[in-house]
Structure 1
Amino acid sequence: MNVVLFGPPGAGKGTQAKELSKHYDIPHISTGDILRANVAEGTDLGKKAAEYMNKGELVPDEVLIGIIKNRIAEPDCKSGYLLDGYPRTVPQADALSDILKDINMPLEVVLNIAVPDEELVIRLAGRYSCKCGESYHIKFNPPKEAGICDVCGKELYQRDDDKEEVIRQRLVSYKRNTQPLIDYYEKAGLLVNIEGAGEIDEVFGQIINVLDQYK
């Protein structure tokens, strides 16, 4: 099965992708990961990407799509792939469609994990960390003593991108950028919305019920 996975920050997309990859024995292809791998390995496309990354610029679509094409053409993708982090724009979706047709591995389904904004804020704004590496959540995994790490006894802190005002800005940006893609894939008849507000196992069960149709 050939799948694209969408989901806003805090939707649990990474967790679900990891479990789906194991369940169906298909690779989870994160564009960020394969981009960094190509740069580290010094591939031709990786060298081109590094030129832009080293200047703090976005990697052009033609470079990124070439890296994705090469990755999906690898042997471990013969039974399918789970693409995460791409496409991000409608032109990228068009380019992806073209290259997938070229290698005869077109998308079969696009999953969109949908979670209400307030639930996402609760999930993300409740996260706290410790310099020792431990992490907590004030609702789901609280420390024994408020604000203090169970392991080392040091004071916990909240990352700037986990503060409520920043989270809400991130969600606005995500919707603005992703809605055209949701519309694009819905029009193409590929989109399936997944209710992501439940427990991890419940969401996983919903996804399995959908993807089993494409085995």
Structure 2
Amino acid sequence: MRIVLIGPPGAGKGTQAAVLSERLHVPHISTGDLFRDHVTRRTPLGRDAQRYLDTGELVPDTVTVGMVRERLARPDARHGFLLDGFPRTVPQARELTTVLAATGATLDAVLELTAPEDVVVQRLLSRGRPDDTEDVVRHRQRVYESRTAPLLAHYAGILVTVPAVGPVEDITARALAGLTEAGAA
């Protein structure tokens, strides 16, 4: 089962990815974790990424796609995965299609977690991180809407939308039911 998980910052993607990965017996692949791993190991891709991260700029798609391509080639991801944080744009989605097609694979579903903006803003502010000011958090919501939300139309045929408000177990149950109904689980 090959699933992409999308939703605005604070929708609970990391929480659900960890739970769903275990329940579905597929690896949770987070681009944030990939960046940290490559930077820590000082791989060529990590050194490229670090240059952009140091200046606060977005890491170019070529670097991100390279990391994802390498990770998806590992044995544990050959029969499925849960991608968290990639793709974030339609061009990245096209790159993912190309990466998967090279192995004869396709995505089974795109799981969208939704929550009202005020809910996700409060979730992020409650983490207490110094960089999580309300202005910054709301700006991240705008960036999500402009850059990532177009993926919803791109993936309309395999999109499973789940409300991400309530207890974690309830959200997980809705996600699993949606994936099952879509024939992806």
TM-score class normalised by the smaller sequence = 0.7 to 0.9
Instruction: Tell me the distance in 1 between the aligned counterparts of 2:45 and 2:137.
Output: 34
Paired position in structure 2 for 1:161: 132
Match of 2:153 among 183, 195, 199: 183
Q: Which runs of 5+ in 1 are unaligned?
A: 130-157
Whether the 8 Å contact between 1:128 and 1:159 is mirrored in structure 2 is no
Alignment of 1:88-127 (within 5 A): 88-125=88-125, 127=126
Write 1 or 2 for the structure with the bigger share of helix. 2
How far the C-alpha of 1:43 sits from its partner, in A, is: 3.1
Whether the 8 Å contact between 1:3 and 1:107 is mirrored in structure 2 is yes
Instruction: Tell me the distance in 2 between the aligned counterparts of 1:82 and 1:181.
Output: 16
Q: Measured at CA, do residues 195 and 58 of structure 1 come closer, stay the same or move farther in structure 2, by a change above 3 Å? A: closer
Q: Which runs of 5+ in 2 are unaligned?
A: none
Q: State the percentage of identical aligned residues.
A: 43
SS of 1:91's equivalent in the other structure is: helix
Q: Which has the higher contact order (CA 8 A, sep 6+)?
A: 2
Q: Spell out, residue by residue over 1:76-134, the C-alpha distance to the aligned partner (whole angstroms, 9 max, x if none).
A: 11231010111111111111111111122321100110111232234334x164xxxxx
The amino acid that maps onto 1:180 is: P
The amino acid that maps onto 1:179 is: A
Paired position in structure 2 for 1:16: 16
Instruction: Tell me the distance in 2 between the aligned counterparts of 1:55 and 1:11.
Output: 27
Paired position in structure 2 for 1:206: 174
The amino acid that maps onto 1:159 is: P
Whether the 8 Å contact between 2:161 and 2:178 is mirrored in structure 1 is no
Q: Measured at CA, do residues 31 and 160 of structure 1 come closer, stay the same or move farther in structure 2, by a change above 3 Å? A: closer
The number of aligned residues is: 183
Whether the 8 Å contact between 1:89 and 1:181 is mirrored in structure 2 is yes
Whether the 8 Å contact between 2:160 and 2:179 is mirrored in structure 1 is no
Whether the 8 Å contact between 2:111 and 2:160 is mirrored in structure 1 is yes
Instruction: Say if 2:161 is the partner of 1:193.
Output: yes
